[in-house]
Amino acid sequence: MSRSFLVTGGAGFIGSNFIRFVLEHEPDARVTNLDNLSFAGVRATVTELDRYPGHNFVKGDIRDASAIHEVMEGTDVVVNFAAESHVDRSIDSPLTFVETNVFGTTVLIDAAARLGVGCFIQVSTDEVYGSITDGFAGEEARLSPSSPYSASKASADLVVQSYAPTYGYAGIITRCTNNYGPYQFPEKMIPLFVTNLLQGKSVPLYGDGRNERDWLYVEDHCAAIYLLTREGLPGEIYNIGANAQVSNLELTRRLLHSLDLDDSLIDYVEDRPGHDLRYAVDSSKIRSLGWQPAHTIEQGLVETISWYQDRQDWWMPLKQENR
């Protein structure tokens, strides 16, 4: 029997890749893509998704309770990707992040509870754990956010969790590591650096570049979430990581090497406030369900660089609009 999905934030990076993944693996599925087309929501991405018969785009805001109730009715699966997600922007505009990420998520989980939606997935981030000195954070690790962005995501997670004991409605929470791949808005590190280098520009590296991240190819993340729509247990939290930790400096050098360039294009800039040194999660829980990343970081970077080389028609207008 075909399933119906409501995917919020589906004009953005991970959301659009997830919709594509669903419709390629479940061709009979019906996917409603709700996005307000704010800063990182890209109309050209929606146009490409419209090629799938099962895709239906609705322009809307997750903070609009009446609109959410209407669009969610009759839905089998809700996956919430909608979020303000750039740490630097959260430092400049924290209220916007609280309004969207906390209030918007509350609107969604409340509608899902009232309508009895079978599966609700809140897509969160490993940043809620804060900087991990050593080892790997499990799902029960203490929340210790360091920015308004991560604090708003941690708050949203707690709201979702609260609906089980209070209203008897349990959602699933996922906490992923840093994603990269096609269709990522060119303000995030990898697409910004790749597109800058393709344009002959330098790349701005925070501090000394020692900050370490685990890099997860977006298609692998989508596969994990898709698995949870069938196998995930309501009320559970699942970390999703690739165990591909590298420092920002090492990642930058890999990108430079891939394009036959050298370190002279690195522009070391002042570090940002509250910049966590290291993120790392223990994803053994979801791996026990049979998931594992299909891409090594080497494979993923090759595919990502190739995509940005081939799709200047997608990213060049975005960079020109936001100069």
Instruction: Enumerate the active-site residues.
Output: 126-127, 149
pLDDT digits (tens, 9 = 90+) for 292-322: 999 999 999 999 999 999 999 999 999 988 7
Mean per-residue pLDDT over the chain, rounded: 95
How far apart, in whole angstroms, are the C-alpha atoms of residue 8 and residue 108? 9
Residue 1, judged by CB atoms within 10 A of its CB (0-12, 13-18, 19+), counts as: exposed
Question: pLDDT band at 274, cuts 50/70/90?
Answer: confident
Q: Is the pLDDT of residue 323 over 70?
A: no
Q: What average pLDDT does the segment 10-34 reach?
A: 98
Full DSSP string of 66-118: HHHHHHHTT-SEEEE------HHHHHH-HHHHIIIIIIIHHHHHHHHHHHT-S
In this predicted structure, what is the pLDDT of residue 310?
98
pLDDT digits (tens, 9 = 90+) for 64-118: 999 999 999 999 999 999 988 767 777 877 888 899 999 999 999 999 999 999 9
| Domains with residue ranges and CATH for the chain | 4-179+214-240 (3.40.50.720), 186-213+247-276+298-321 (3.90.25.10)
Q: What average pLDDT does the segment 32-42 reach?
A: 91
pLDDT digits (tens, 9 = 90+) for 191-220: 999 999 999 999 999 999 999 999 999 999
Q: What average pLDDT does the segment 236-262 reach?
A: 97
In this predicted structure, what is the pLDDT of residue 87?
72
In this predicted structure, what is the pLDDT of residue 91?
80
Q: What average pLDDT does the segment 137-145 reach?
A: 96
